[in-house]
Amino acid sequence: MISPHERIIFALDVSQRASALEWVERLSGHVGLFKVGLELFVSEGPSLVEEISSRGERVFLDLKFHDIPNTVAGAVRAAASCGPFIMNLHALAGSEAMRRAAEAAKEGAERAGVEPAKLIAVTVLTSHTADTLSELGIQGSPAGAVHRLANLAKDSGIDGVVASPMEAAMVREVWPSGLIVTPGVRPAGSSLDDQSRVATPSGAADSGADYIVVGRPIRNAEDPVAAADAIAEELREASR
């Protein structure tokens, strides 16, 4: 069983290496993973991921690959070699892309002599509504699409999915052993920022999330370390 601190993924939503590394140093031991997303990765590249990993920290590499299977597999193989603990791709890339990516993650890690990353899929971006999905020719509710894509991910040999707090319980039913990573988490009383569908840390844990992604509630707190510790405490209470 992982400890409550280890279940917190801090979103490194900054664009510069120095700032990212300051946050890593500050929150080391208080959160379990650091999420490197597109902005930071495009700015600073794989060497930053290697640097964070070399400090003994775990990285969630949030690059959401979506391309033809061969290209996705190549990107996953290359990304795997910088040693992330978790990385992701879009389920909409399809079952073959997910199957090939699962193999590529293992190959890339083996070549680099690192542990293979856990590979998870984004089902439907939470920015979508039934209307914007319909524009893309995907009919029905976002929840229906999430359900179908979570099933497809489960049958494609990857490890789990990213799921909003509103979807986590449904995904947990579809995929009891899948890894679920949940963003949109807000401790009670904290600002929603631009998130609309949110859950508290304990609410997300109760819905079946293994890991929760938290950015601004920690980054903008007066005392970020205390904010992370309070979230861990809430997760500890929830698991009792």
Least distance from C-beta 106 to ligand C5P, angstroms?
Answer: 25
Residue 31 CA from chain centroid, whole number: 14
Least distance from C-beta 31 to ligand C5P, angstroms?
Answer: 12
Helices (H), 127-188: 130-135, 142-154, 168-174
Residue 164 in contact with ligand C5P, rule: CB under 6 A: yes
Residue 171 in contact with ligand C5P, rule: CB under 6 A: no
Q: Which of residues 114-133 bind ligand C5P (CB under 6 A)?
A: 126
Residue 11 in contact with ligand C5P, rule: CB under 6 A: yes
Is 106 a residue of the active site? no
Q: Which of residues 206-235 bind ligand C5P (CB under 6 A)?
A: 213-217
The two three-digit tokens of residue 197, written as one number = 């569908």
User: d(Cα 195, Cα 146) in Å, to the nearest integer?
Assistant: 19
The two three-digit tokens of residue 75, written as one number = 């990107």
Residue 40 in contact with ligand C5P, rule: CB under 6 A: no
Least distance from C-beta 179 to ligand C5P, angstroms?
Answer: 15
Least distance from C-beta 176 to ligand C5P, angstroms?
Answer: 22
Helix, strand, coil percentages for the chain (3-state, nearest 5): 50, 20, 35
Separate counts of helices (H) and strands (E) for the chain: 11, 8
Identify the residue among 13, 51, 96, 206 touching ligand C5P (CB under 6 A).
13
Cα 192–175–60 angle (5° rounding)? 50
Residue 142 in contact with ligand C5P, rule: CB under 6 A: no
Applying CB under 6 A, the site for ligand C5P has a residue count of 14
Catalytic residues: 64
